[in-house]
């Protein structure tokens, strides 16, 4: 969970193409950019950088 509920909702509804890394909406069967079916959910946890 991040700071902004709106952003969280958007991240949860985002899928990333494993091939070209384009963002796709949840529910799409294929990547809008390259047509690949290899999609993954966008990482929900953003890890803070450590020195």
Give me the least distance between CB of 11 and Zn ion, in Å please. 18
Smaller CB separation from Zn ion, 1 or 25: 25
Give me the least distance between CB of 45 and Zn ion, in Å please. 23
User: Residues in the site for Zn ion, rule: CB under 5 A?
Assistant: 17, 19-20, 22, 31, 33-34, 36
Smaller CB separation from Zn ion, 12 or 18: 18
What are the angstrom distances between the C-alpha of 30 and each of 7, 9, 12, 13, 33?
23, 21, 17, 15, 9
Neighbours of 13 (CB within 10 A): 13
């Amino acid at each position: 969970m991040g700071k902004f509920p709106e952003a969280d909702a958007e991240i949860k509804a985002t899928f990333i193409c494993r091939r070209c890394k384009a963002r796709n909406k949840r529910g799409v069967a294929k990547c809008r950019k390259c047509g690949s079916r290899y999609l993954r959910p966008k990482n929900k946890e953003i890890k803070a950088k450590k020195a």
